[in-house]
A and B are shown apart, each in its own frame.
Chain A
Amino acid sequence: MSEVIVITSGKGGVGKTTTTANLGVGLAMQGKKVALVDTDTGLRNLDLLLGLERRIVYTLVDVVQKRVGYGQALVRHKKYENLLLLPTSQVADKTAIEPEQMLELTQVMRNEFDYILVDCPAGIEQGFQTAIIGADRAIVVTMPEVAAVRDADKIIGRLQAENKDSHLVVNRIRPQMVKDGTMLDMTSINDILSIPCIGQVPDDEKVVDSANRGIPVVEWDDSVAGQAYRNIVRRICGEDVPFQTFETDGWFTRLRKKLFSHH
């Protein structure tokens, strides 16, 4: 059994690449054979988040243009042998890969991997079409914010038109703001998007640190976001995992923040 999952969002900056890196490492930690395909040609980042930038020799563009086989372009993860990255070119642009070429590639790669995660670029143009074409299903990443939810809605409509099931991951939730009523809560988001939610990831400073170090937070035991990603991985594997309830600040922390904030 192999599954191709595209990670998409419509809007940029909501955490598609971070989600791809974390789910990829998380699935590899579960012993699955995983390939991560970066389709954000020209603006590749997935290699950075995995700490694999220096090891890239060939790219997705070389593969679809038949200069090399995909096996030659795959970069093996330093810690997890069963995790491989197919990076894309930083110099070419999205027109370098036709959707049909991507479809062909994912169909061939299916034979070798349990999971193929495709990191989709922002937008709804050719890059999006290329990323989704070979996917069995989609994970739509959004943030509790009107613009991100609006764009996610558009993307879900496009995915439904292509007969692809989608699941939702809500990223960068700030529990205290939700509690105060200044951030969209899960009820409102589900009300608008009405697709099954498989992840609620709290905002976590450690994600920034982890990107700099090239070690996704899913590996970090002390990260709340890492815990959320581990739960998503288990849900992808078919386990029924209840959603975490996030801790909000206690009265003392809130008082301290109020006293020392400059806003």
Chain B
Amino acid sequence: MRQEIVQLKGSRYGLQLVFSPETEFKTIRADIQRKLESGSRFFRRGTVIQLVPGVLSSEEEASLRKLFNQHGVLFRVETMEKPATRRPMATLPLTPASPAKAAPAPAPAPAPAAPPAEKKAPVSETATPAVKPEPQPGTKAVAKPAPEGETMLVINRTLRSGQEIRTPGSVLICGNINAGAQVIAGGSIDIRGTCRGLVHAGAGGDTSAFIIADRLMPIQIRIADRIATLPDGAVKTPAVAARAFMKDGKITIEPMER
């Protein structure tokens, strides 16, 4: 079997572009273009592709960025091994729906701060002496997208079809999520109402994120990189609140009291 020129190494934070250092840039670019145009499932719109810095020249990086952007794919040159410098929501360009409400508290640990809502200076490596990034190439990062005590986004309305909330932290929704609406959170999602839309908790890879709803009857539930759907057909309105969480690598739904 022929060795692929360009490979994509997946991690829970996104996809990393990998190729042999001897390969000519022209060949790499052509291979990526071929992959993009073939409509490979790795290159869905909104995907983030990362590249370790220093491998390509800045002109070459710019050329690739342009190529990816034409296909709706984001291209970032940044390291995946250092959680402190890495953005926590690498797979999703998250912007809080209402910046005023979503200002995250300055977190002590490797802080996933949302740039638009940031009040303090961006967290840099030197500013976080508490946690030293471990140089372990290829292993998962330690940053949790929604550490304890971080400000929670509160939405006091019903989300209707076509409306979307994206937040790097957790979100509390006092209202319904109607079919056709989406909530994508880096942390957990709590719905004080009926959930009929699409909910994605732990969008940055946090498998401990969970989803709670008074009436949990969504089109799809996603936690980290797992997707679950309810059985087709008429869904009965559940009598009690339920919690969806990851258990042994599977999304599990359990009734709960509150």
Residue A244 CB within 8 A of the other chain: no
Q: From B161, B163, B179, B196, name the one whose CB has the most chain A CB atoms within 10 angstroms.
A: B161
| A101 at interface by CB-CB < 8 Å | no
Q: Which residues of A contact B194 (CB under 8 A)?
A: 191
> Does B162 interact with chain A (Cβ within 8 Å)?
yes
A-contact bits for B157-172, CB 8 A (1 contact / 0 none): 0111111000000000
B 204-248 to A, binary, CB cutoff 8 A, 1 in contact else 0: 000000000000000000000000000000000000000000000
The contact string, 1 if C-beta is below 8 Å from chain B, for chain A 163-196, is: 0000000000000000000000000000110100
Identify which of A13-21, A151-159, A206-214 touches chain B.
A151-159
A157 near B176 with CB under 8 A, answer no
A194 touches B179 (CB 8 A): no
Instruction: State how many angstroms separate the Cβ of A257 from the closest Cβ of chain B.
Output: 25
CA distance A123 to B194 in the complex (A): 27
Flag whether A234 is at the interface (Cβ < 8 A).
no
Q: Are A157 and B179 in contact (CB under 8 A)?
A: no
Q: Is the CB of A150 within 8 A of B180?
A: yes
Which chain B residues lie closer than 8 Å to A194 at the CB level? 158, 176
Contact partners of B179 in chain A: CB under 8 A: 150, 153, 192
Chain B contacts of A151 at CB under 8 A? Answer: 161
The total of chain B residues at the interface (CB under 8 A) is: 12
Q: Which residues 137-163 in B have Cβ within 8 Å of A in the complex?
A: 158-163
Measured CB to CB, the nearest residue on chain B to A188 is B237
Distance (Å) between the CB of A163 and the closest chain B CB? 13
> Which B residues are in CB contact (< 8 Å) with A150?
161, 179-180
Nearest-CB residue, chain B, relative to A158: B162
Specify which chain B residues have a CB less than 8 angstroms from the CB of A153 in the assembled complex: 160-161, 178-180
CB distance from B197 to the nearest CB of A (A): 10
Quick check: A154 and B162 within 8 Å, CB to CB? yes
Task: Tell me the smallest distance from the CB of A186 to a CB of chain B, in Å.
Answer: 16
Chain B residues positioned under 8 Å from A157 (CB to CB)? 159-163
Shortest distance between the CB of B42 and any CB in chain A (Å): 31
> Which residues of the other chain, A, contact B162 by a CB distance below 8 angstroms?
154, 157-158
Instruction: Determine which residue in A150, A153, A192, A194 has the highest number of CB atoms from chain B within 10 A of its CB, and name it.
Output: A153
Give the complex CA separation of A240 and B88 in angstroms: 55
Docked-complex contact A154 and B158, CB < 8 angstroms: no
**Which residues does chain A contribute within 8 Å of B180, judged by CB atoms?**
150, 153-154
Contact with A along B177-193 (1 / 0, CB 8 A): 01110000000000000
Can you give 23 contacting A-B residue pairs, CB < 8 Å? A150-B161, A150-B179, A150-B180, A151-B161, A153-B160, A153-B161, A153-B178, A153-B179, A153-B180, A154-B160, A154-B161, A154-B180, A157-B159, A157-B160, A157-B161, A157-B162, A160-B160, A191-B194, A192-B176, A192-B178, A192-B179, A194-B158, A194-B176
Q: A150-B180, A194-B158 are known; give 11 further A-B pairs, CB within 8 A.
A: A150-B161, A150-B179, A151-B161, A153-B180, A154-B160, A156-B160, A157-B159, A157-B160, A157-B161, A192-B176, A192-B196
Query: 10 shortest A-B CB distances, which residue pairs?
Result: A157-B160, A154-B161, A153-B161, A154-B162, A153-B160, A153-B178, A157-B163, A150-B161, A150-B180, A156-B160
